[in-house]
Amino acid sequence: MKIPVFLLLLITLSQVTLNPIVSVADSAYPSPYGIETTTSCQSTASDDLIPVRREVYGNGRIFDITHRLTPDMPSWDLEDGLGQFLWLPKSMKNGSLANNSEMKLPTHTGTHIDAPGHVYDHYFDAGFDVDTLDLEVLNEFMPFLESKMRVVCKLLVLTELLFVSTISLAFSSPNDAYPTGYGDEPGACVGASDDLRPLRREVYEDGQIFDITHQFNPNTPIGDSDEGIGQFLTLLSSMKNGSDYNFSELRLGVHAGTHVDAPGHMYEEYYDAGFDVDSLDLRVLNGPALLVDVPRDNNLTADVMQSLHIPKGVKRVLFRTLNTDRRLMWKKAFDTSYVGFMKDGAQWLVDNTDIKLVGIDYLSVAAFDDLLPAHHVFLKSREIILVEGLKLDDIEAGLYTVHCLPLRLLGAEGSPIRCILIK
């Protein structure tokens, strides 16, 4: 049933690329811009530039049970559906070197999760948000099954992503997520007692499950900003204002914090053809993965890649670098001195290994000096998936099973992603 809708979308997308006039009306594209016509768009209609959107992978072993986010999907209390949820503040059509979308979503849209603070205001004030939900409940560990089976069994029950509605007890009454001008009642300090302190874990099940995703909070770094993402949550409905529930809206650049890049991030023809995060291959994002330490005194060059002796057949590698030691992801100001791939390092990896998932511990896999060339090398084939901003502290280097699940944001060239490692 979904296939005709999907084909329609494809047709729409290819018409956008064939007829630049139409692109002005494209909802993902800001309307005051985009009048300039793209000159080299003839090739984009070719058959091999049609993204594959799957619901089932690996001959029926993996089922995606998450709904794709589209403007027409139902959203709580909205009669006309979700509507436009993506914008392109930075667009290659407007001269930017990359596409960088921003998303705005009511948090109870589509496939989503409720935290206790949704309907209990004292839990909300105490910080019982989605970041405190138990990954053991969401992903039961089954030691009696061999790891390959576990990959299948655990795959698609992960929470979509980690959004914090209240950051800590300290923030509970003058909460950033609370609209200014409201909520002045200081009386309700229920959240102060010890048993109302939420547990936030990085490791579960005695070191069997590691959360390698950074928490989203106002200080979460994003490229090109000294201030972090700032206030990214707003309470649309608040129990303090008489609502029956708390209900937040989320506004976030899709390349903030721990996130994934889709091919459309740096290739305009891929963007126009629809190679978005919804088209990424879940088989690549889930499976055996190597966590490796790289030499701390260098960017990731061809020489460094060669020195790591990554065996053929390894498909997923998470590179831990100086960025982790410097705790760059904990600093809200974007730091251009981070370590990343140089173009020759990316090329060496493409030419000499079977790696399809590249993970790194800062906001870009590419070193700042080779930001575009290294991204281009990785994304050209549309087979390599880049996961950026991983939290790799305090985990032994070695072999794990990785599970990474992006949001199904139709049209987005990046997405927040929840990644865990299982021993």
CA dist 338 and 325 (Å) reads 11
Binding-site size for Zn ion (CB under 5 A) equals 5
CA distance 9 to 129: 35
With vertex at residue 213, the alpha carbon angle to CA 53 and CA 329, rounded to the nearest 5 degrees, is 120
Rounded Cα gap, residues 318 and 203, in angstroms? 18
Give the binding range for Zn ion (CB under 5 A) out of 4-12, 23-31, 160-168, 409-417: 409-417
The least distance separating Zn ion from the CB of residue 257, rounded to whole angstroms, comes to 10
User: Which CB atom, from 25 or from 372, has the smaller least distance to Zn ion?
Assistant: 372
Stretch that binds Zn ion, among 125-133, 325-333, 342-350, 413-421 (CB under 5 A): 413-421
For Zn ion, which is the closer residue by CB, 150 or 375?
375
Query: CB-wise, 198 or 264, nearer to Zn ion?
Result: 264
Select 128 or 362, whichever has its Cβ closest to Zn ion.
362
Provide CB contacts within 8 A for 168, sequence distance 6+. Answer: 127
Cβ closest to Zn ion, residue 172 vs residue 258: 258
Question: Is residue 344 near Zn ion by the rule CB under 5 A?
Answer: no
Nearer to Zn ion, 299 or 364 (CB): 364
What is the nearest approach in angstroms of Zn ion to the Cβ of residue 388?
A: 5
Query: Residue 364 CB, nearest distance to Zn ion (Å)?
Result: 5
Question: What residues from 349 to 368 belong to the interface with Zn ion (CB under 5 A)?
Answer: 364
Residue 198 or 359 with smaller CB distance to Zn ion: 359
Smallest distance from the beta carbon of 27 to Zn ion, in angstroms?
A: 22
Contact call for residues 54 and 272 (beta carbons, < 8 A): no
Can residue 261 be called a binding residue for Zn ion (CB under 5 A)? yes
To 10 degrees, the CA torsion angle through 391, 397, 401, 402? 20
Residue 182: CB minimum distance to Zn ion, A: 35
Helices (H), 121-267: 121-126, 135-138, 147-154
Query: What is the identity of the amino acid at 186?
Result: P
Residues 107, 248 contacting (CB under 8 angstroms): yes
Helix (H) or strand (E) holding 111, with range, is: none
> 415 with 407: CB under 8 angstroms?
yes
Element (H, E) at 63: strand 62-63
Tokens 């939290």 map to which residue? Answer: 391
Pick 214 or 255: Cβ nearer Zn ion = 255
Count of C-beta atoms within a 10 Å radius of residue 333: 11
Find the residue with minimal CB distance to Zn ion: 255
Smallest distance, Zn ion to C-beta of residue 289, A: 18
Does 343 bind Zn ion (CB under 5 A)? Our answer is no
d(CA 273, CA 38): 14
Which residue, chain included where needed, has tokens 């984009």?
A: 44
| Contact string (CB under 5 A) for Zn ion, positions 378-397, x = contact | ----------x---------
Q: Which stretch binds Zn ion (CB under 5 A): 185-193, 202-210, 252-260, 286-294?
A: 252-260
255 contributes a contact to Zn ion by CB under 5 A: yes
Residues that bind Zn ion (CB under 5 A): 255, 261, 364, 388, 414
